[in-house]
Amino acid sequence: MINSKLKKDIILKAENISKQYRLGQVGTGTIAHDLNRWWHHVRGKENPYLKIGDVNDRSTKGNSDYVWALQDINFEVERGEVLGIIGKNGAGKSTLLKILSKVTAPTSGSIKSRGRIASLLEVGTGFNGEMTGRENIYLNGAILGMTKKEITSKLEEIIEFSGCERYIDTPVKRYSSGMTVRLAFAVAAFLEPEILVVDEVLAVGDAEFQKKAIGKMQDISREDGRTVLFVSHNMAAVQSLCTRGIVLQNGIVKFEGVTEEAIQFYLKQSADRFAIREITDRKGTGLVQLSNVSVFGTTREVLPQSGNKFVIEFEFDNPKNIDSDRMKFDFRIDDYAGQRIVWLSTTVVKQGIKGRGKVIRFEIEKLNLNKGTYYVTTHLVVDEELSDWIQNVFSFDVAEGDYYGTGKQVSPSQSKILMDYNIVFV
């Protein structure tokens, strides 16, 4: 394919994409809003709720019930490009992909495309446990937009790529989760859309399969000249696959450019600070309550990275100025699947200088959590009485780092925890 150098071959163009969500629950308030909106519509006026709405920032308490998950997103993608879309949890990546894959409509703006878009938002969509692997290949393929004929012509390749030949006529409910992912990815990998949208697929599966999957995606873009939009937390995958990157922050495109620079920009975003005050789902007397949490790496401006310094800072509302001596605070870190990883507490290590019980900071010199998303549950006791206990109060991401100083990575599916060790041959 010969592209003229003067004119770029734009295959996808996003123009002023914005997306608004309503927060809170649907109830009588919604009916009132619906009626009001309808009344404005009848009189030919603009939707009154489009004007209000806060920037999408989870950590601050918003003033309105409406929030902009995306605001004025503009970008262009050239044919054959692999565009990485990166950003922290809740930055709007998934919303953008949902709009691109037509799952939800933008509130305003438009996307223009010169090719068929197929999405791979979390693999295995529409898999039915009762049906066999083979039947699911057909069902899943059809859901993704293939015709039966197309699937039949690629069936052998799909089965081979998935590595599930032996179980292909077994119901999928007997598959391990790894096998399901492999089968699902195999179906999607043999889709032939001009634009492929991929979200987080590579988070699961073993290292060998991830390699295979990355290779397949490279083939798709390099050899077939097809375009890929790739969303991932896996910076290594972004780096090796993407030709260009976009960094989303609070629903706004903050950076657009070369992959390398986009990743650097992403890692240097200001630390996560979570406002905890408005969380109501908590137990305890409330004498002292968690108010804010900050999570950061080597400095406040750097995100946590495996192998680097890691700080997690808890701030408390302590109106009675209770001394830190009377407080026992602990928290637990779980992985994305709810598996308990580690428990840290003020009761098990020697404490530093006594404070006024307003801020507790845990400092870890060399973070030995592997890359991934983690959830935190906090637990505070004052004078032997439960004061504040919040389950899954917030989540944070650990980015890939050079833990071993060798540049080598261990897949999180093999190892959630990293540790230093010596090897001796005897």
* Residues at the contact surface with other proteins, assessed by CB under 8 A: 21-22, 26, 30-31, 34, 98-116, 119, 121-122, 125-126, 128, 130-131, 135, 138-139, 142-148
Single out the residue of 325, 312, 320, 313 nearest to residue 288, CA to CA.
320
The smaller minimum CB distance to other proteins, of residues 336 and 343, is found at: 336
The smaller minimum CB distance to other proteins, of residues 99 and 276, is found at: 99
In the complex, least distance from residue 136 CB atom to other proteins, rounded to whole angstroms: 9
The smaller minimum CB distance to other proteins, of residues 121 and 410, is found at: 121
The smaller minimum CB distance to other proteins, of residues 142 and 364, is found at: 142
Instruction: Give alpha helix (H) positions in 190-254.
Output: 207-222, 235-241
DSSP secondary structure code for residue 409 in this structure: -
Q: Which two tokens stand for residue 69?
A: 């998950």
Single out the residue of 361, 393, 389, 388 nearest to residue 288, CA to CA.
388
The smaller minimum CB distance to other proteins, of residues 24 and 405, is found at: 24
Structural Rg of the chain based on CA atoms:
24
**Spatial contact of 280 and 96, defined as CB atoms under 8 Å apart:** no
In the complex, least distance from residue 420 CB atom to other proteins, rounded to whole angstroms: 40
In the complex, least distance from residue 165 CB atom to other proteins, rounded to whole angstroms: 22
The smaller minimum CB distance to other proteins, of residues 36 and 110, is found at: 110
Cβ density class 157-177: b for 16+ within 10 Å, e for less: ebbebbbbeebbeeebeebee
The smaller minimum CB distance to other proteins, of residues 148 and 283, is found at: 148
In the complex, least distance from residue 19 CB atom to other proteins, rounded to whole angstroms: 9
In the complex, least distance from residue 111 CB atom to other proteins, rounded to whole angstroms: 4
Single out the residue of 105, 182, 180, 190 nearest to residue 144, CA to CA.
190
In the complex, least distance from residue 147 CB atom to other proteins, rounded to whole angstroms: 5
SS3 content of the chain, % helix, strand, coil (to 5): 25, 35, 40
**Spatial contact of 273 and 294, defined as CB atoms under 8 Å apart:** yes
Q: Which two tokens stand for residue 101?
A: 């894959």
The smaller minimum CB distance to other proteins, of residues 107 and 232, is found at: 107
In the complex, least distance from residue 56 CB atom to other proteins, rounded to whole angstroms: 14
DSSP secondary structure code for residue 132 in this structure: B
Angle, alpha carbons 353-356-357 (nearest 5°): 95
Q: Which two tokens stand for residue 238?
A: 């972004």
Single out the residue of 297, 314, 313 nearest to residue 305, CA to CA.
297
In the complex, least distance from residue 118 CB atom to other proteins, rounded to whole angstroms: 8
**Spatial contact of 156 and 91, defined as CB atoms under 8 Å apart:** no
Q: At what angle do helices 177-189 and 148-162 cross, to 10 degrees?
A: 130
In the complex, least distance from residue 93 CB atom to other proteins, rounded to whole angstroms: 14
The whole-angstrom separation of Cα 247 and Cα 263 is 8
The smaller minimum CB distance to other proteins, of residues 145 and 178, is found at: 145
